[in-house]
Structure 1
């Protein structure tokens, strides 16, 4: 959460500077917010994702370069905050590796009273750089109007944690445990966007696996995110 406040605060400081007079630089760009749902291609072991509880929020400072009356290149930097709902099983913060050099990952731990989970999520934060080429069929002067865009996104993981909420003998217990959880430090993928400058829909497909090593059942998911975007704060 502290990363979100830092990005938003920095954006408003830059915006205020741009509007405050001659002595401060005019910094172009917009605040872009992606809100969507996450889906893994396959669930390892006993994990059971719940799509409607698996959310994604991206907060980016973006800019554009107009290439022609119908083409623009958009790029930015910001934070990607991902949450995956893990059902009644969860990931342990420590791992057991087997089979020598094969390093098969046994990362699923069933905690006591797991059937009483009210909340069980894996959360991770990434420093992301999205970029895309946009086609404006009706033309554009400053990036406005109808568009279809395609590009990529790369990210560096900053942190991760699990968050649990469950009942233990009539008492509500909340736990938050930070760890690496064998998550890949680097992610990359492609994105497709369509709509207007201020509001559009997006599809992100990451080509990198979620985890560094596969689970013992051989699974190692990739993540897809679908959602809506608002730009231009």
Structure 2
């Protein structure tokens, strides 16, 4: 009897020890991933399930070989480098001088720099990986809008009667110094533009860190140009015309990114006019972009 009791006590102790050992075992977990959702099942019970949205902390995001940035905005200033020979421009008949007054010269085409603005609206820009995302091709398509605000009272005409002459007419565009003062006098020139640049970045994994530099060229097509004026004598006046401006525009373009802040610039080595005036436009400003 004592032997039976001893045997049963030993069996109970062994069973308890075994149960305690099993309870401390690390239970095997199953992991299921569906897209950005991670489901981890711990143990056999349905309630021991963890669901995580997104990537694990130790997972690194892979950069896409082609990334697209939609609706980029540029805000900056427009100006130009005036290399015109005004004697030749007057002889060509493009500039009409008022009798008894000095001829048009470089001072008449000086701009109000704080009010001469450039606004670019890029429908999209894409970045194509070339070398491990450190070197990329960058290109896009958008609108380039330039407003040149004059200090003087120069006016544009597409043709017609020439001021200060006795009924003389011409079919050619011309520019003259007007007889009144304008509170607002600007030339607007708008382009459809395609930029193409080589991009270098020090931190491909984050657009908010590191430095990025882009340099290249752009090609633009002039689809609208107009001379808008405002005065007490005439009110608001908007003259549209061809003005013998170059239909196509070629520019050198660049971009500098310092973390999340981006600067842009452009310079055209060729005049924005077909003949007579040698005026080479440039822009500089801030770019609001994800990269």
Report if TM-score (shorter chain) is over 0.5. Answer: yes
Choose which of 146, 153, 164 in structure 1 pairs with 2:229. Answer: 164
Name the structure 2 match of 1:37: 77
How many residues get paired?
Answer: 189
Larger gyration radius, structure 1 or structure 2: 2
TM-score by length of 2: 0.59
Q: Does 1:65 align with 2:128?
A: yes
Say if 1:37 and 1:225, in contact at 8 Å, map to a contact too.
yes
Q: Does 1:203 align with 2:270?
A: no
User: Could you tell me how far apart the structure 2 residues matched to 1:28 and 1:228 are?
Assistant: 19
Q: Does 1:111 align with 2:184?
A: no
User: Could you tell me how far apart the structure 1 residues matched to 2:201 and 2:69 are?
Assistant: 19
Give the direction of change, closer, same or farther, for the CA distance of 1:121–1:156 in structure 2 (3 Å limit). Answer: same
Q: Does 1:56 align with 2:114?
A: no
Choose which of 188, 191, 215 in structure 2 pairs with 1:150. Answer: 215
Q: Does 1:221 align with 2:279?
A: yes
Give the direction of change, closer, same or farther, for the CA distance of 1:125–1:186 in structure 2 (3 Å limit). Answer: same
1:137-168 deviation line (CA, Å, top 9, x unaligned) = 2x304766420111111100001111101112
Runs of 5+ unmatched residues, structure 1: 1-26, 97-104
Name the structure 2 match of 1:94: 158
TM-score by length of 1: 0.73
RMSD value over aligned CA atoms?
2.4
User: Could you tell me how far apart the structure 2 residues matched to 1:33 and 1:198 are?
Assistant: 14
- Larger RCO, structures 1/2 (Cα 8 Å, 6+ apart): 1
1:30-58 deviation line (CA, Å, top 9, x unaligned) = 22211111111117633221111111011
User: Could you tell me how far apart the structure 2 residues matched to 1:37 and 1:93 are?
Assistant: 26
